[in-house]
């Protein structure tokens, strides 16, 4: 039995949900990816997968970790093709998973990292409406930033279905924010162009429109989905709106830089193997 905090009650949850949550939490703790959890849950049961996600988030919060915002995943056709899924999902971003702009990801911190570039939004007001509109979102957003999300999977070889990735907190790993916040006024996020290099070579590109037709559409979808579940976005939340282009696997020693037009640039490195600072 994996060693997971036992002070979050699980009595009211189906056994399969607890078993899947234990498998993913155990994999994260041991640093050894597990078998897909879709075999434990009913085929395509996305709500059960969100129940798994919520249980493990509650367990982490019970250890003192703080949720700083949300990520949207699987927004771009390129990423959907890479993973064989056809709908967006969401997960939670912990405050302690932020990497400073230009910083380095320590060796061994993640199991199977991949990097993607996206638009981040920071909210100045709550978004409590089940039918959030673009206007609600525009009024609630303080500023945008370029971001790198370093996704990771606790499932062996990224052998994931939508159920696996939702259960696994939408494959969250770490994230990096650019240094200069940009107000939304005058900014057309649909038409921004993203290019990302790995070790100086072009590795991924896309446009704002590649993210569910525009990062604001993705954020509206998220705000409505969370309000519907009674856990709305709040003032101060960070939202990673989803990849603008394909994810790129990261190896020790790699350096990534992304530029998003009108937003700026953001970069991160991966420590060389054996460099466990
Ligand atoms: C598997 C991840 O959710 C991919 C992601 O973060 C994205 O598409 O964005």
The whole-number pLDDT of residue 2 equals: 45
Helix 15-30, helix 46-62: angle, nearest 10: 50
Of 253, 158, 257, residue with least CA distance to 203? 257
Tokens 């999902």 -> residue: 89
HSE-up (13 A, CA, CB side) for residue 262: 16
Degrees to nearest 5, angle at CA 141 with 177 and 244: 50
Structure tokens at 136: 């609600």
> What Cα–Cα distance (Å) separates residue 76 from each residue in 85, 120, 244, 264?
10, 15, 6, 21
CA distance 268 to 277: 16
Structure tokens at 86: 């056809």
CA distance 188 to 190: 5
CA distance 140 to 152: 30
How far is Cα of residue 274 from the mean position of the Cα atoms in its chain?
Answer: 27
> Which residues approach ligand 1 with their CB closer than 6 A?
73-76, 79, 116, 149, 151, 165, 170-171, 242-243
| DSSP, res 191 | G
CA distance 158 to 116: 15
CA distance 67 to 196: 27
Reading the chain (277 residues) residue by residue, the pLDDT tens digits are 444 555 788 888 889 999 999 999 999 999 999 999 999 998 789 999 999 999 999 999 999 999 999 999 999 999 999 888 889 999 999 999 999 999 999 999 999 999 999 999 999 999 999 999 999 999 999 999 999 999 999 999 999 999 999 999 999 999 999 999 999 999 999 999 999 999 999 999 999 999 999 999 999 999 999 999 999 999 999 999 999 999 999 999 999 999 999 999 999 999 998 765 5
Phi, psi of 22, rounded to the nearest 5 degrees: -65, -40
Interval between CA 7 and ligand 1 midpoint (Å): 30
Of 120, 137, 119, residue with least CA distance to 128? 137
The SS3 call for residue 251 is coil
Phi, psi of 266, rounded to the nearest 5 degrees: -155, 145
How far is Cα of residue 24 from the mean position of the Cα atoms in its chain?
Answer: 16
Interval between CA 248 and ligand 1 midpoint (Å): 11
Q: Which of 116, 204, 238, 248 to mutate to test the pocket of ligand 1 (most atoms within 8 A of CB)?
A: 116
- Sequence spans of domains, the chain: 66-270
Q: Which fold has domain 66-270?
A: Fumarylacetoacetate hydrolase; domain 2 (3.90.850)
**ipTM for the whole complex:** 0.98
The whole-number pLDDT of residue 5 equals: 54
């Amino acid at each position: 039995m994996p060693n997971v905090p036992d002070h979050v009650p699980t009595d009211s949850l189906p056994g399969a949900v607890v078993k899947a949550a234990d498998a993913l939490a155990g994999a994260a703790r041991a640093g050894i990816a597990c078998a897909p959890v879709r075999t434990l849950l009913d085929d395509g049961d996305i709500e059960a997968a969100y129940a798994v996600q919520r249980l493990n988030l509650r367990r982490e919060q019970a250890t003192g970790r703080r949720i700083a915002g949300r990520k949207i995943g699987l927004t771009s056709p390129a990423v959907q093709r890479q993973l064989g899924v056809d709908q967006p999902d969401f997960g939670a971003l912990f405050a302690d998973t932020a990497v400073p702009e230009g910083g380095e990801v320590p060796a061994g911190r993640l199991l199977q990292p991949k990097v993607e570039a996206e638009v981040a939004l920071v909210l100045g007001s709550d978004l409590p409406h089940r039918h959030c509109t673009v206007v609600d979102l525009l009024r609630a957003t303080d500023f945008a930033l370029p971001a790198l999300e370093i996704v990771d999977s606790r499932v062996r070889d990224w052998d994931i279905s939508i159920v696996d990735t939702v259960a696994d907190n939408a494959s969250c790993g770490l994230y990096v924010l650019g240094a200069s916040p940009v107000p939304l006024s005058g900014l057309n996020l649909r038409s921004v162009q993203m290019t990302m290099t790995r070790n100086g070579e072009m590795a991924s590109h896309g446009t704002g429109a590649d993210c569910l037709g525009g990062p604001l559409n993705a954020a509206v979808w998220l705000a409505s989905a969370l309000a519907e579940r009674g856990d709305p976005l709040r003032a101060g939340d960070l939202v990673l709106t989803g990849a603008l282009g394909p994810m790129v696997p990261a190896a020790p020693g790699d350096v990534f830089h992304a530029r998003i037009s009108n937003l700026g640039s953001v970069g991160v490195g991966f420590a060389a193997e054996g460099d466990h600072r």
